[in-house]
Structure 1
Amino acid sequence: MKHQRTILGGVAMTFVFGVAVATSVPAASLATAGSFEAVQADAVAGSAQSFDSAAEAAGAAVSRDGYVIHTPTPTPTPKPVATSQGGYGGGQCQAGADAVGESTAFSWVYPGGYRQSDGFGPRAEGFHKGVDMVNDEGVPVHAIADGIVIAASGDGGTGGVYLSLAHKVGGVAVCSMYMHFLDGSLMAGVGDTVTAGQVIGLTGRTGNATTEHTHFELYGADGVRYDPMPFMLEHAG
């Protein structure tokens, strides 16, 4: 009987010692060499996932574990424009050019391309004072250079919805005119400044137009319209 109590006591002490070891030694120290290598492999694999803050800020798509998050590009908001604002004569052109800095960057009206129909010069209906650039309805129209809005109208008669900008190029007043915008799509009003390539409206066929296009003109402080294509080829490339 005494011998049995001695054995039971030894077993109990062994159990207590085992519990103490299990609760005081970190689990990682009990891992086998193989399991430690697996942990290292997981850590290396995990390090391949990174966050590119510059790409995120630029609105690029970010890949995350097999799926892609697309950051939407902000869409310009149309600006309410009264029936008639400002003027697009030579005097207004010079005054607007005096109010802005020198333009050093330039953009095509349609950077993505367009189809030209009527050019500058005589035609059956009379002298055409600009160039007709054909594109689909709703395609964005871009300012050709930094400038200021000197005229804008939501209902411009034969010109439909139009906008005119004053620029300073080589110290000289250069004004650009854009006609037939989509109704309600103007994104700037008189007195607003714009930058080269900024979206100022959407392609439409308001006013005297038989198809969707932008009638584009250039003129100076004398108010006389001239062929805009040589200017655009020289400055916008």
Structure 2
Amino acid sequence: PALAPAPEAAAGRRRANASRGLTLLTMAFVATVTIATSLPSSAFLTGQDMAEANVVTDAPATSVPSQSVALSAAPEATVVGGTDDAFTATTPQQIMLAQTSKGAGAFTNDINGTIQWPFASGVPISGVFGKRIAPCSHGCSSNHQGVDFAPGLGAPIQAIADGVVREAVDSDTGLGVHLVIDHVIDGQLITSVYGHQLPGSLRVKAGDPVKVGQQIGQVGNTGASTGPHLHFEIRVADGTAVDPFAWLQEHAN
């Protein structure tokens, strides 16, 4: 009769078989993990899944329309009102006065002063004292003897100081409708001239006394003028015209 295997030999065979089974199971697990981590996720999608995914990924991206802002340069300032003569500013004072012609008030006036500006409050200046190019052929000068104030047609004009009217002229040539007033200031004869006034606006006549701040007429465009403004002059005792802006800056109080 065949002999039964010894108990030790049978146990050895069982351990060997178990070891081979464990090894095969381990290899199968490793292979599964390798496949799962090596293949792209799409390998596990169905055809329908891929089609739906393509619908999403192929859709055009929504773009936000860009915005553009158009920047435009500020318009150039223009000279307000008229003037006797076109001018080119060269001196510091002329440059300053030219800047005030853009519309800002060129001065401040003390309505309680004994010497004042020809307007109760600051107005633009459209022409300065001195040599310049004459802008017209009907009497405009190339050597401007005054300053042009441009507050607008019809603006009230006032006497700069107490005085007596020397001339009240109704004309449409040269200075147009204008007044000449004599004053005694610091013991000296000073004459003020107010040109290109509105026809019919003069409120005084030759020989009339005037008080500082008294309305004497209105801004017009008569005579050798290119637009509504007051041509204002200051003349010293010998009749010489001086820069009225500088004179008023020094004497107005």
Using the size of structure 1 for normalisation, the TM-score is 0.55
Q: Which has the higher contact order (CA 8 A, sep 6+)?
A: 1
**1:235 offset after TM fit, Å?**
2.1
% same residue: 40
CA RMSD of aligned residues (A): 1.2
Residue 117 of structure 2 is aligned to residue 117 of structure 1: no
- d(CA) in 2 for partners of 1:157, 1:211: 14
**Residue number in structure 1 paired with 2:149:** 133
- Conservation of the 8 A alpha-carbon contact between 1:186 and 1:201: yes
1:221 to 210, 215, 237: 237
**1:156 offset after TM fit, Å?**
5.2
Residue 174 of structure 2 is aligned to residue 158 of structure 1: yes
User: Tell me, what secondary structure is at the counterpart of 2:196?
Assistant: strand
Paired AA for residue 117 in structure 1: S
- d(CA) in 1 for partners of 2:132, 2:168: 27
Gaps of 5+ in 1: 1-103
Q: 1:156 to 1:168 in 2, by over 3 A?
A: farther
Larger radius of gyration: 2
Deviations 1:67-112 (A, max 9, x none): xxxxxxxxxxxxxxxxxxxxxxxxxxxxxxxxxxxxx811111122
**Residue number in structure 1 paired with 2:39:** none
**1:210 offset after TM fit, Å?**
1.4
Aligned residues: 134
**Residue number in structure 2 paired with 1:179:** 195
- d(CA) in 2 for partners of 1:109, 1:156: 22
Gaps of 5+ in 2: 1-112, 135-141
- d(CA) in 2 for partners of 1:223, 1:143: 19
**Residue number in structure 1 paired with 2:224:** 208
- Conservation of the 8 A alpha-carbon contact between 1:155 and 1:161: yes
- Conservation of the 8 A alpha-carbon contact between 1:156 and 1:162: no
Using the size of structure 2 for normalisation, the TM-score is 0.51
- d(CA) in 2 for partners of 1:190, 1:158: 19
Deviations 1:3-23 (A, max 9, x none): xxxxxxxxxxxxxxxxxxxxx
User: Tell me, what secondary structure is at the counterpart of 2:250?
Assistant: helix
